[in-house]
Structure 1
Amino acid sequence: MKPTPTVLVAALALATTACGAPAEPPPPAPHGYVAGAEESAEAQSRLVVADATTGGVRVLDLLTEEVVELAPVPGIRAISTDGRHAYLSGDRGTHVVDSGSWMVDHGDHVHYYRAEIRDAGDLAGAAVAAHGDPKVSAVSTRDGAAVLLDRTALDAGTARPTGEVPVAPGTAVVPYEAHLIAAGADGTVRVLDRSGKPTATVEPPCPEPEGTALTRRGVVFGCADGALLVAEDDDAFHGEKIPYPRAVGAGERARDFQQRPGSSTLAARAGDRGTWSLDVGDRAWTYAETGPAVAVNAVGEGGPLLALTADGVLHAHDPETGEQTAQTRVTARPVDPAGPLPVILVDTSRAYVNDVATGTVHEIDYNDSLRQARRFELGGQATHVVETGR
């Protein structure tokens, strides 16, 4: 008996199903999606805290106040960050920690992420500074070189070097506008592609370069005659010198810039007499009579210039006049200028100051007369601290 048309249709449908119907394409990933990470509406700030005595490494989540203990790193001497990863310089080179907290700035909006905290490998050399973009992280070392790391591999948990760039000691290589900006010991500032190949030279030169910062206005290098701002316009890089407002000797020049991440206001110690504030947007230096500060930083955008003096007192100064506006004690005892020095870390609403000897980190509301908002007692020593997620 011949099959009826109905039976033929049913058989065809069954055969099609058995062979597998064409799969529906997966829905497109939402804007900003990152595999393995949770996106949040606010910054997921964390502090990476290292104890130079024991080698202990802790990550403090500033939202939940949870602390994660990581494997110790022997002989920690310095710590730096590219905004997500912490680079701990120790006896065996540099150990990399993925703090699991970072942001992606698209200019008109920002994405904040959190993920698992984990170790991300080791590097040769002693890291002293780090800067990164979505494609590369440049880790500058004490011996005058910067190691370039594949950022995709690094974010996945592997520190994989892709090249090396020579750099003047005391400065850093900075990824900027899909290129790298680096100052040589001879004062020549070069533009390189992400593989480290030179593509251009920036004028004017920067004599005796020392100190580097990345701002929204461009990359800043400290020079013997002021600061050099390197910016990009229509795919061309150009330099602009910001001279000191008066004659400045070698012992008083700015050598180590500190800032709120991305801010265009920088702070630097001015020898043992005061502190410099550099407003990159206005191309203006301000000198504050802070006395011998052991740590400084700048809030930016009209916020105060912060200076910690050796007596353990934190001072706020007007960034335009240099006049003191507030002060508060933050360390239990005076700071030993010969020992590990504390730092002042600044984000959009708070500052963090570490008391090295007691293992305590103080959270300061710099918009409220330096009110102490929280205190984190981590134990041991809080020798080196960086903030990630900004």
Structure 2
Amino acid sequence: MPAAGPHGAASAGGGSSPAGAAPGTGDGHGAVSGAAEVAEPQLGLTTIDRSGTVTHLDLLDESLTTIGRIDEPHALTTDGRYLFAATRDGVEIVDSGVWTWDHIDHFHYYRAEPRLLGTVSGSGSGSATVATTNLSTSGGTGLFFPESGDAVLLDTAALSRGEVEERFRMRTPPHAGLVVPVGSYALVTEPSPASLPAAATSSASAARAVPASSVTAYTADGEPTGVTEACTDAAGTITTRVGAVIGCTDGALLATVTDDELVLERIPYPAGSTAPAATSFDNREGRPTVAGLAGSDGIWMLDTRRRSWSLLPVPTPLAAVTAVDDDEQHVLALATDGRMLVIDGADGSLLAQTDPLVADSLAAGETPRLVADQQRAYLSGPRELMLWEIDFADDARIARSFPTSTEPAFAAETGR
């Protein structure tokens, strides 16, 4: 994640270009027709309330723009530009209109009109799982509908043009699955035949309880590559600068593409570890190190560059965790009592903490969103009707607070 200058973003709403902006030229640096390239990251907080109203908060001038309304959301995934909201009818896609193109040694920043792009449906009801990459104008986005077994790969380049196009759609046995994009490939989970329920007892809830046991690789056009790798109880995925991670009972699979060839590597947990496996991962977008909860026993840190795990002790029970992966090795965590903690990623010691900010939301079973970029952390409080910007490097200081008129049930930092 690049530095954010004054830590703000131009408004996602409105059609005029800011001073000094140049129109997108499609030069392979993340530009698309109709987008303006700007001098700094266009950071914002895009939220969806319980009724489905989508709102964008500009972090530079603090202006508020209503993008539109979708069906009532049940879950949210983001790649830093698009919001993929799971609803009763499928996955509704929102384009925040702001994004960053990571070109390894430098970055490009863009702004376009925000818009609602449409819905991708499965054959059954229930929330889909979504897997993204770190590029919002190329590659693919994976959707898996557990109750029908529909596995879908969307064309992300088409999304950047305002079009919802499927690269492939295939039917697998209903299970708790994933479609994970990796360059010009995609990994699709499959269950063990022995774990499938009998037809007479098959139900939506039974399908969601069936675990994945392996992943199979396909081209972006849905052609099998012949590559299959075991991954018992596959759960949780994230893309880092190194490659795509999928969590398994015994560790993780790391998928990379070298010379147009897909490579799968297994990164096992340390020998003798009895801590529960991580089932989700989070980090400052694109960074090599990711964090996941190890049940109540600690925090799993996975360094995808070194292909190694470490287990950090926890000072208190946690509800969420994310790795900043900066020079100071900061790890941010949300305690179950509503405090945000700043933890040393080297030894697990507590460096700083806020007061309890989201205790009411956690007590009500809500899911506050904790996200980190290079300079700030952002925390949503659905029941508290609040969004917070926290300077985690400055003793967890509350830099800004943003009251909301409705519950920010789901929140994403966009423009990153």
TM-score (norm 1): 0.84
Alpha-carbon distance, 1:213 to partner: 1.2
Contact 2:292 2:300 in 1 (8 A): yes
Q: Does the CA-based 8 Å contact 2:32-2:161 persist in structure 1?
A: no
Task: Confirm or deny that 1:74 pairs with 2:71.
Answer: yes
- Which runs of 5 or more structure 2 residues have no equivalent in the other structure? 1-23, 193-212
Check conservation: 1:137, 1:148, Cα contact below 8 A.
Answer: yes
Whether the 8 Å contact between 1:358 and 1:379 is mirrored in structure 2 is no
1:5-24 pair list within 5 angstroms: none
Partner residue, 2:156: 151
TM-aligned CA deviation for residue 334 of structure 1: 4.3
SS at match of 1:184: strand
- Separation in structure 2 between the aligned mates of residue 170 and residue 267 of structure 1, nearest angstrom: 22
SS in 1 for 2:132: strand
Alignment equivalent of 1:226, drawn from 232, 236, 251: 251
Which of 88, 93, 96 is matched with 2:93 structurally?
96
Report the alpha carbon displacement of residue 75 of structure 1 after superposing the two structures with TM: 2.4
- Structure 1 residue aligned with 2:335: 309
On the 8 A contact 2:361/2:384 being kept in 1, the answer is no
After alignment, is 89-98 or 345-354 more displaced?
89-98
Q: Is 2:305 the counterpart of 1:281? A: yes
2:186 to 180, 187, 190: 180
Counterpart code for 2:143: V
Contact 1:226 1:244 in 2 (8 A): yes
**Overall identity of the aligned pairs, in %:** 35
Residue 272 of structure 1, CA deviation: 2.8
Aligned position for 1:47: 45
Q: Equivalents in 2 of 1:305, 1:380: separation in Å?
A: 30
Q: Mark the CA change 1:362 to 1:229 in structure 2 (over 3 Å): closer, same or farther.
A: same
Partner of 1:9: none
Deviation of 1:202 (Å):
5.3
| Cross-structure match for 1:347 | 373
Does residue 1:255 correspond to 2:279, yes or no? yes
Distance in 2, matches of 1:92 and 1:57, equals 17
CA distance in structure 2 between the partners assigned to 1:121 and 1:150 by the alignment = 14
Equivalences for residues 294-373 of structure 1 within 5 A: 294-302=319-327, 303-329=329-355, 331=357, 333-336=359-362, 339-373=365-399
Specify whether residues 238 and 154 from structure 1 end up closer, same or farther in structure 2 by C-alpha distance, changes over 3 A only.
closer
Give a deviation string over 1:113-140, Cα, whole Å, max 9, x none. 1111111111214333231451433233
Summarize deviations over 1:124-174 as a string: whole Å, max 9, x none: 143332314514332334444432223343222232333225689555423
- Cα 1:51/1:161, change in 2 over 3 Å: same
Letter matched to residue 298 of structure 2: G
Equivalent residue in structure 2 for 1:83, among 80, 84, 96? 80
- Counterpart for residue 131 of structure 2: 130
> Which stretch of the first structure deviates more once superposed, 151-160 or 299-308?
151-160
**Whole-angstrom CA distance in 1 between matches of 2:64 and 2:350:** 35
Q: Is the 8 A contact 1:275 1:293 kept in 2?
A: no
Cα displacement string for residues 38-62 of structure 1 (whole angstroms, at most 9, x for unaligned residues): 112221122221112x332211222
State how far apart, in whole Å, the 1-side matches of 2:259 and 2:222 are: 21
1:340 counterpart letter in structure 2: E
Instruction: Assess, with a 3 A threshold, how the Cα gap between structure 1 residues 257 and 39 changes in structure 2: closer, same or farther.
Output: same
1:97 Cα offset (Å): 1.0
SS of the aligned residue for 1:269 comes to strand
Judge conservation of contact 2:95–2:114 (CA < 8 Å) in 1. Answer: yes
* Residue pair 1:130, 1:137 contacting (<8 A) in 2 also: yes
TM-score (norm 2): 0.79
Structure 1 segment 164-243 matched on structure 2, within 5 A? 164-165=169-170, 172-186=178-192, 187-201=213-227, 203=229, 205-243=230-268
CA offsets 1:80-124 (integer angstroms, 9 cap, x no match)? 123321112223322211100112233333221111111111121
Indicate conservation of the 8 Å contact 1:296/1:343, yes or no: no
Check conservation: 1:311, 1:335, Cα contact below 8 A.
no
Q: What are the within-5 Å matches in structure 2 for residues 52-71 of structure 1?
A: 52=50, 54-71=51-68
What is the CA–CA distance in structure 1 between the aligned matches of 2:83 and 2:67, rounded to whole Å? 12
Larger CA Rg, structure 1 vs 2:
1
Inter-partner Cα distance in structure 2 for 1:174 and 1:58: 28
Corresponding residue for 2:204? none
Q: Which runs of 5+ in 1 are unaligned?
A: 1-27
AA of the residue aligned to 1:36: G
Amino acid at match of 2:290: L
Equivalent residue letter for 2:393: N
Q: How far apart, CA to CA, are the structure 2 residues paired with 1:182 and 1:301?
A: 32
Q: Which amino acid aligns with 1:213?
A: I
Is the alpha carbon distance of 1:254 and 1:111 closer, same or farther for their aligned partners in structure 2, counting shifts above 3 Å? same
